[in-house]
Structures are given as C-alpha cells and as structure tokens.
Structure 1
C-alpha cells in the first residue's frame, strides 16, 4: 500500500494498492524530489476514465514496471477533477510536445516541476523504455534536459498570455455572422453534431446556436440544432432505460459511447434540452429531461442535497472482469428471452440489427425512426406503442439492476454541483415541476452550508463530511451563475446578494488587472510553474466566459458600471482572437447580449412569482428578468413597485418604457417575430 490510501479521491484510492510508490501532489512530495534531485512522474486521470484503468492494469499494477518507477522517480498521482489547475498546466505542455492531449496524462518533470517529456496512454514496454532513457539522460546530460525544460516552459507561458488587439472598430454582428458561416461547413447534416468522430456533445455550443438561430430567424440553423438534439436523444449516448448521457460517442451516429456518465455533462444537457423544449415543445426533449433528472436524483443525489461526480465506464462482466460498457449492453438472445413476442417490434425501434450492433454480439440501443412511423408501419396507434416502449424500458431496467453496477465517484465538486443546480432551475422553468425547484434550493443550501467558508472562500471538494481544496475560478463562476438563475425563478434577492458577494471576492482574489482576465487559481494558493487563464470554452464553458456573463447580468441588477467595464474589456480583447467558434461559443453568446435585441424585464406586482412562471416558460434568451412583490432596494427595481398595481417594465440599455399593466402585452413585446 502506498501513500494514496491517505487520500479521499476515489481515483487516487483506486491506485492505493499499486506496487508503484505513489504520492499525492503536496508540498512534501515536491520537496522530496528536490531534496533527492530526482525526476518526477506526474500521472493525471480521473475515476471514470477507461484508458486510465487500462494503463493501471497493464503498467501500474505490474511489479517490473513499478520497480523502474520506484528506483529513480518520485511518483505523483493527480485526480484531474480535484486539481484541474495542475491538469491544465501540464496539458498545455503535452499539447505543445505532441500536438494533442487527453487522459491518462503522463508527464516526466525536473525536480522543480518543469516538464521535459509527456503524453497520454502508453503501452507497458514503451513506458518503461522511455523512463529508462530519460533517467540515463538526466544522469549523463542534465543540462540538455534543463535547457529543453526552459524552452518548453517559455512555450507554456507564451500560450497562457492573451494577445491584445485593437478592436474598437470591430462590427460584432459581422464577426458573429462570419464565424457562423465558417462553423456551418463542419456540421454533420445526417446525424447532427460536427462531422467527425469521436463526437462530444458540447452543450454550450448548441445553446448558443439555438439562441443565434432564434434571434436571426435562421430556420436552417434551428433545424440543425434540433436534428442534433434528437439524434443525441435517440443515440446510445443517451441511456433510454434509466436516463442520463455518457461523456461522448466514439462514432459519427452517437451510437457507442465511452460509457462513463459525468455530472457536468448531464447538468448542462438538462439546461440545453430545457431551453430547446421551451422553443419547440418537442416531447422527446421533455422525456430526456425527466428521465435524466430521475437518474440524477436516484444515483447521484446525497442525503444533504449534494450531487456525486460520476459513474465509471467500466463494470464487472459475467466473468467478474472489469469491462467497458458491460452494464449497458445487450445480446440478441438476452433481449429475446426478456421480451418474447414483443422482440420484433422492440428491435424495430431500437435497431437490434446491423445498425445497432456494436461488437462481440453486443447491441447498444439506438433509434433512427420516430415512433409515429413505426406505429403506422405496424398498424397500431402511437399511444399504444409509446406505452409498450415504457413497459419494455422498465422491464429492461429491472433486469439490468441485477447486474454489477459501474463504480461511483462519490466526491462532490462545487463547480459541478452548481452546474447541476442550474440544470434543475432550467428544467423547472421549462416544465414547472416544483420538485425540480425544491431540489435546486436544497443543493444551493448544501453549497452555502458545506462549501462556503466563514472566511468568504468557496471550497472545491466535499467528501466524508469534509470540505477540502481552496476553490478555483470554475467553482465561483458556476455558483454565481446558479445563484443568479435561482433569483430569476424565486425573486428572492438573497441569491443576488450572495452572487454579488462571491463576485466581489473573485475580483479581489482572482482578477489580474494587467491581463484583464481572471486567473484560474486564487492569489491565496501556492503558485504552479505557470499561471493559467481559462479562456477557451470546451465540454464545460471557460470559467472566464462564465464570469463575463455573470458580470454582465449583475451590472444590470446592481447598476454597477465596474462590472460592465470588466466584461466589455474581456470581450474586446478576445474578439480579434476568435477564429474557432466552437472554442468561444459562450463568448459569442455574450456578444448577442449586447445586441439591439437584448432587453430587461421588471415584474412589479403582488403576484410577481406567478406571472414570472408564464414568462420563464417561454424561450426568451435575450431577456434578463427581475421582479418583486414588495418595495425593493435592488437598483434595477428601486421605486418601481406600487402597492396594488401590476406594472411590467420593458427596458433596453437601461432605458425603460412606460409600464404595461398587461402580461400578454409584455409578452408580445418580448417574443421575437
């Protein structure tokens, strides 16, 4: 047993019995490398990562490999979900060295932490041979490695700096239209998403594209977004039996996923499908929302209202060996024995044929026709077929529950909890299910009680009733966004004041005046080899883009010109650098907020919350909403409430029209024609 048995991270604990003398990332481990003048192996992964498990089985559980690692290196294991700051810095290094990245992420560094070599997954022989060569080089020609480390470090620093350009005369609409035109060339018009594999869902991309299509009346683009959302819901990437999405699909048709389920994906996808449902009323989207939230509540929700992080891709197969997807797949023989005379009809819906076959006789359920078409073909009603489908799914669910379940990552991360919290709020807006709001409020109180310290900082991680690791920018930005979302449905100003308090803390401890962006780590944390500014949106939007949107909204609620100035500065610097739209979709969404179509609405009446349910059930991405049922000192609402009157103020650029008394009249002003 190595030092990882002292940790709480499920990923680190998975490696606690490796023969490798693993240590956690801490001051003592780093000091030991310097004291012994030994190279450091930094191996980064996460609990649900399939290829991390493969490399562990092939290499880190092997005595011969361990002897090589233990003889000459200080070996440090890092959970990228607990330490995204470390992961971000060394990912940059590997991307510079190899042109790509991923997990497991394996780096060899000098005793001071500067990397000299790295990559992702390595086979056993390649791994040990490379380590042997690096050790010999370090003994025979350390100056060469030090020189390379210095040049690589300069490269890391260079790509960490945001280049400032002159953007004063840029036409934001022209930039947007150009990027959208460029983006459309990479669309997969058959299965949705981008025309490549693997396919990541990238929820923020489609939230922006949905909004852009709506605000620009682009029917073709709206059709593409709906195609994508429908194909994702039909694909094996969505678990139709129990709800929830896997992380990504290995193929073009969203069929076979890497089977891990992550909290952050599902939180964002709930928000996306909720927005799309408000616009389209597509019942498929409603089904996705309801099934996924049922799954989240059942499998991930804690007794305190928090949410666990993930389910593993691997689970025990019939031979009691860990196998990717074993929990989720079916053989034709199994399905026939379970469904009996319904098998033929079931196989039409879920493609128990060449289209749905994965490998080794296993099928991953995938739809490619709507139920109406199949019902017509089989001369039954759609209602009857829908009922049969629900019964089949429940039958398979009960059968599947008898299998060995994937391993659970039972840590609660602040940022991911906040993403899920906002998903619940967005689902509440779309479906008006009070249970969703209740769970959102319980999670918000969990964050306040367990993850927000008396000193004002957020913690990043919670497990075994203990909060650890000082919060990162991602924790603050998503909690702030979630609290703003809670205000939008409750009109309880406490949530806005909490959001403002966290924002001011972030400006004090994360904002870099020189670069005009927020650092990923607080000024209270130990410095790494390079400062990280998270700018580009990925499977999770960049913490800086989320902060920029938060500041924009709060600047309106609190009439705070400094918040607005910071947001505008960030956007003006980035605009000339936006060449790859997928990596800036959340920033592009912010640009839309500065268009002439953006409006603010103040609902001031005794039944403001009830009226707000009507408003928030509509797709109004270009409207910021506030409201009160009593006199309010919130700057945006000050002096607007008059007892006994129903007043609705539609505003634009802080200029408001005379109040309307009719909510239907207000809706006609807000909904884009």
Structure 2
C-alpha cells in the first residue's frame, strides 16, 4: 500500500498515486525492513526536479516496475529538502560508487540502512534488471552483499572524519591569494562563471571574489565578477519577463536553464547583486534585484509572511502534457503576434536567432549586447529603448499569464526562508526601499512565531500550520546570519539576543568537541548510518562555514572569546585542506575577516540609524557594524552612548581609536 497520501511534502504527494508501495522515511519503515529481512530502496528527489518527474513517469507509474519493487523491497521516498540529512549520507555513498551524484538519487540498502548499490536516473529496463540482480544476489549469497555494504559503510564514515589539529596559528593571507590565483585558471572570460557546463551560479563564490577583488584592488578579478553577473542577468537563466533565476544553465552561456526556480538561489542572488550594485550602481543590477523580489513576493510569499520553496521545471503545454520549460519559452509566430511592428528590434535585443534558439523552434530570451550598443546602432536613445523593453516584457507577461503555471512547492523551510530574509535586508541596504525591510521583518516574525519552539529548538519545515521535522544545522546557521543582518539595519538588539540564544543552543546540541565542528543533525535526533559534518560550500554555503562566520560576528558584539576561538579553530583546520577553492569560498571569506583590513564600527547617538543607512548603502564587506540610539548593555556598545552627540568608534582587533563626530572622516578612514 502506498502511504504517501498521509504526508505533507509536495514531492511525496506527487508520488502518492504511484502503484509502488511507497513509505516515508521513518522508524516504522526501517523496522519493517529488518523484520521482513528485505532490501530497502531509498529514492530521493524534490518537487521541482525535472528528471525526478521523468523517472516517475517511466518507472514509478508503471505496474511492471511496481511489481518488482513491491515484491522484494521496502520502498521509501524521501524529499531531499525535508530530509537533507538522509540525502547527504546517501549522496556520499553514490559518489563513492559512481564518482558523481545528482537527483533523482536512487539507492538500495541492507535492511539496516547500509547502502549496497545506487545511482541517479535509470531507464525502466535498466532499473528492473538491476533490482532483479540485486534481489537474486541477496537471496543466494547474502554474505557478499553484506561484505560490500560493510566496506562502503567504512568509506562513508571515513569521509565524515574531520581532523582537529587544535593548533593555533596566524591565518595566512598569502595562502588565500595563492588559492585565488589558482582558481582564476578555471574562469570563463567570455561568458563569466567557470569554464564548463552545466553552469551553476554559486552565489557565495562571487560574493567572496567580489570582496577579495575590492580589498586587494584586483581590477581584473573585479571585471570578471561583473562579467559573470552581467551575463547571468542577460538570461535566459534570469527570467527577464517576470523576474527570478532558475537553478542552473545546461550550457556555457547561461542561456537554457533547468527551469525550476528555487527560493534559496533567489535569496542569495539578491544579496549578491545588492552588494555589486553598491560598488557599481549598474542599473542592470538594480533591475535584477527589483524584478526578482517582485517575483518572490508575488509567487513565493505566503499570507503569513513566509516563503514557499520552489516553482517546478515542468508545466502543462498546449497538449496538456507536462513539459520542461513550457511556461517560459516562445516561438517566432507567438512573438510576432505579441510584439508586432517592433519584432525586428525585439529580435536584436533578445536574440531571436541561432544564438537564442533552444530546441523544437522554441526560443529562450537572452541578451548578448548592452542596450546602449543596440540603441546607438538603431538610432534610438537609450531611455527610449529601455521603455520599449519594459513594454515588450509587460506584453509577454500578460500573454504568459494565460498559460498553465508551473507547480508550486508550498512548504516553507527555515533555512531557505533565512536566505530570503537576508536577501531582502541586503536589498534594503543597497536600494533603501522601506518595503524590503518591512517584508524582511515580517518574515523574521513568521519564523520566530511558527518555526521556533518555546523549548528553544527550531523546526525545519512548515506547511498547513504544522511543523514536523526537527531543525538541522543549516536552519540554525542561516537564521543566525539573517538575524545579524537584520540587526545591522535596525540596531534592534532583540535580533542579536535571538541570534545568541540560537548559537548557545547549537553548542549544546550540535557541537562535536572531538572534531571541533558542528554536526548536521541534533543530538536529540535518531542517528543515521554515519554522522554528517557539512564543511564544503555548494550552491548554499556549508552550514559549518556559516556558523564559523556567525561566531566571528557574535564574538565581537558580545566580546565572547570562546566564540572567537571556536571560529578561528574551525577555519584553521579547514584552510590547509583546500584544494578546490569553489567548495570553500565562504571559509576564505571568513579568512579575510581575520586580517588587519577588518574593522569594527560602533555608531552611538540619536542619529545612529540615519548614519547607518548612509553607511549600509556603501560597499564595506570588511566592517562589523553596531549602533544604538540609547544606553546599551551590549558589551561592544556599553558605556559608549552620549545623549548630546553621535559618536563613531572605529576599532581594529579589540583596539579602538578615540571617538569622533565627523562621519566623513570615518568614511575616509574606512576607504
């Protein structure tokens, strides 16, 4: 019997009518496998995953496949977004076995959960053949299967071991420069990003590279980051019609996306483009920020101020069949009808030609020239061409709204909401739009009300006014970071107090003294087959790297030497082992904070918030900012407030200059 109809996950519910006897991941399902001595199929995916849908249609909706699975296996479906802990452990196993990973992720395990075989997408015939062979092998020579599972299990456990040197050394800034120099060899100097396809946006990579270029005055690197951000903004990975980024591009020019739109990408990219806008005042970056946040508010915000997870890659086409990208692509006859007399100019802007062609006479809109260049060539003013572009996009949006929309994953996750919260805060810093701060504050209240229990722990998920999964380290680390960011624009110390409470809870329930890192799952949760320490940055930075940065910031605000020492030790253990900088960019960003270029600034006085707004719209990634409009007991601000004047305290490595009242002098010193 398929049990998934009892679940709330949109991904699990997509499979609720399969003839496969799916179960959810829970203790009951695992006990049943052991009682019946059956192999387990663990199939992991997420609601917006195109190839997950393909395998479902080809195999999991097929009765022949279901007969094989139901007869010999306990079948467990996992939403990787709800259970990133399960996904992480079995992803390690598959990467050991086939040296690559992805979703759908399909694993066969022993009844105790130890994996014996796995891969990603399988065609129906290959899937059936593999399952039959595994079942026969387990029935005839189970000792061979168990022996292999034991060796694989040892491999998974060895990956999870982190050496704690417990040696305190000075952070070597020259080593960071060397890593960046090596990294540059992978850059695509034509289209930005890394010189490979598919291309993932990896916002944290460019957040770090932008900061490194700024602090080291590396104009070549600065130009490369701007090239990347411009090319991504040109599309088609960016939806110029309606805002928002897709998850990645299948080609090297950021043209054809995997069309799902994920909350976590868009939150981080808003933060990245906001930082870049501070430095460049590039109107293209402002357009990206505003369109993306408009999309998020319109399509992904729930009535309570929380954010949904994603829009699917697939949507219904004209024949009423699910098709990847159907909602987003255009044919020439459609465009001629919509755009009318401007079609030739429109085609030049958005490449309705071989450069913009995808497949089956479908076009994905993409620019490859600036509007300035196209305007000059066609004897238009830039403002006139920009106005035309807005009118075209409005017409396309109206027409597209008549199509069947992609399916919505309407659960909310604490970690992803935190990324979007921070995105709104960073956009407020850059553009000073008060609506962005209002929505950020509303989201923070949503999280505190619905996802933070009175017992002090966070929930991971929320849907239909229910939360069912205990929070992971990613929830704590990303929410702490968002609350710190919210403090920086409000100087409301309740956000810092909340951040510190979550940090102290994390030390109690996640910190592993032997490794010096935080485990991904709480010590209150049932253990999986191996512990997971998330240390490599990916499309979302590693929860341990985020936590180390949080510790650095909170150590300054609360003058807490334990926080600082823990942060520094985590970083020192990581740095000697970096061979692939892209996977450690958030750690390298933290390393820059341990340099003499990093400063702390306290603004104390009645005009503290006014000055902080001016400061926040400038790009100073090497500043830890605090302030108050009244007497404060925050250790960093204590005894620094004066009723009669606004004072600026500029500090470095726990030593502060004499307070000054001249804001322009402070800006000059920071520059």
TM (norm. structure 1) is 0.99
Name whichever of 121-130 and 1-10 sits farther off. Answer: 1-10
Partner deviation per Cα, 1:182-212 (whole Å, 9 max, x = no partner)? 1000000000000000000000000000000
Q: Taking structure 1 as reference, are residues 384 and 606 closer, same or farther at Cα in structure 2, changes over 3 Å only?
A: same
Aligned equivalents of 2:436 and 2:368: distance in 1? 30
Aligned equivalents of 2:133 and 2:489: distance in 1? 60
Partner deviation per Cα, 1:592-644 (whole Å, 9 max, x = no partner)? 00111000000011011111000000000000000000110100000000111
Q: Taking structure 1 as reference, are residues 530 and 364 closer, same or farther at Cα in structure 2, changes over 3 Å only?
A: same
1:440 positional shift? 0.2
Aligned equivalents of 1:260 and 1:282: distance in 2? 27
Match of 2:332 in 1: 332
Are 1:519 and 1:534, in contact at CA under 8 Å, matched by a contact in 2? yes
Partner deviation per Cα, 1:13-41 (whole Å, 9 max, x = no partner)? 00000000000001110010000000000
Match of 1:556 in 2: 556
Are 2:39 and 2:110, in contact at CA under 8 Å, matched by a contact in 1? yes
| Superposed CA RMSD | 0.8
Q: Does the residue aligned with 1:470 lie in a helix, a strand or coil?
A: coil
Alignment of 1:118-133 (within 5 A): 118-133=118-133
Match of 2:386 in 1: 386
Q: Taking structure 1 as reference, are residues 215 and 414 closer, same or farther at Cα in structure 2, changes over 3 Å only?
A: same
Are 1:240 and 1:393, in contact at CA under 8 Å, matched by a contact in 2? yes
Match of 1:199 in 2: 199
Q: Does the residue aligned with 1:459 lie in a helix, a strand or coil?
A: coil
Are 1:260 and 1:311, in contact at CA under 8 Å, matched by a contact in 2? yes
1:416 positional shift? 0.2
Runs ≥4 residues deviating over 2 A: 163-171
1:175 positional shift? 1.0
1:536 positional shift? 0.2
Alignment of 1:484-633 (within 5 A): 484-633=484-633
Partner deviation per Cα, 1:575-604 (whole Å, 9 max, x = no partner)? 111111000000000000011100000001
Long gaps (5+) in structure 1: none
Partner deviation per Cα, 1:166-190 (whole Å, 9 max, x = no partner)? 8655661121011001100000000
How many residues align structurally?
671
Alignment of 1:51-450 (within 5 A): 51-165=51-165, 168=168, 172-450=172-450
Match of 1:640 in 2: 640
Aligned equivalents of 2:564 and 2:165: distance in 1? 20
1:163 positional shift? 3.0
Are 1:167 and 1:575, in contact at CA under 8 Å, matched by a contact in 2? no
Long gaps (5+) in structure 2: none
Aligned equivalents of 2:413 and 2:171: distance in 1? 39
Q: Does the residue aligned with 2:469 lie in a helix, a strand or coil?
A: strand
Are 1:167 and 1:576, in contact at CA under 8 Å, matched by a contact in 2? no
Aligned equivalents of 1:605 and 1:84: distance in 2? 45
Aligned equivalents of 2:188 and 2:205: distance in 1? 14
Aligned equivalents of 1:45 and 1:18: distance in 2? 15
Aligned equivalents of 1:188 and 1:487: distance in 2? 37
Q: Does the residue aligned with 2:468 lie in a helix, a strand or coil?
A: strand
Match of 1:476 in 2: 476
Are 2:234 and 2:366, in contact at CA under 8 Å, matched by a contact in 1? yes
1:164 positional shift? 4.1
Are 2:273 and 2:285, in contact at CA under 8 Å, matched by a contact in 1? yes
Aligned equivalents of 1:648 and 1:366: distance in 2? 47
Are 1:165 and 1:576, in contact at CA under 8 Å, matched by a contact in 2? no
Aligned equivalents of 1:93 and 1:381: distance in 2? 58
Partner deviation per Cα, 1:126-154 (whole Å, 9 max, x = no partner)? 00000000000000000001100000000
Alignment of 1:24-39 (within 5 A): 24-39=24-39
Aligned equivalents of 2:18 and 2:380: distance in 1? 58
Aligned equivalents of 1:636 and 1:50: distance in 2? 50
Partner deviation per Cα, 1:39-61 (whole Å, 9 max, x = no partner)? 00000000000000000000000
Are 1:164 and 1:574, in contact at CA under 8 Å, matched by a contact in 2? no
Partner deviation per Cα, 1:331-359 (whole Å, 9 max, x = no partner)? 01100011110000100000000000000
Aligned equivalents of 2:474 and 2:229: distance in 1? 26
Partner deviation per Cα, 1:258-285 (whole Å, 9 max, x = no partner)? 0000000000000000000001111100
Are 1:58 and 1:123, in contact at CA under 8 Å, matched by a contact in 2? yes
Are 2:171 and 2:591, in contact at CA under 8 Å, matched by a contact in 1? no
Match of 2:23 in 1: 23
Are 1:456 and 1:505, in contact at CA under 8 Å, matched by a contact in 2? yes
Aligned equivalents of 2:330 and 2:443: distance in 1? 35
Partner deviation per Cα, 1:294-317 (whole Å, 9 max, x = no partner)? 000000111100000000000000
Are 1:510 and 1:520, in contact at CA under 8 Å, matched by a contact in 2? yes
Q: Does the residue aligned with 2:636 lie in a helix, a strand or coil?
A: coil
Q: Does the residue aligned with 1:660 lie in a helix, a strand or coil?
A: coil
Aligned equivalents of 1:197 and 1:665: distance in 2? 47
Aligned equivalents of 1:567 and 1:179: distance in 2? 21
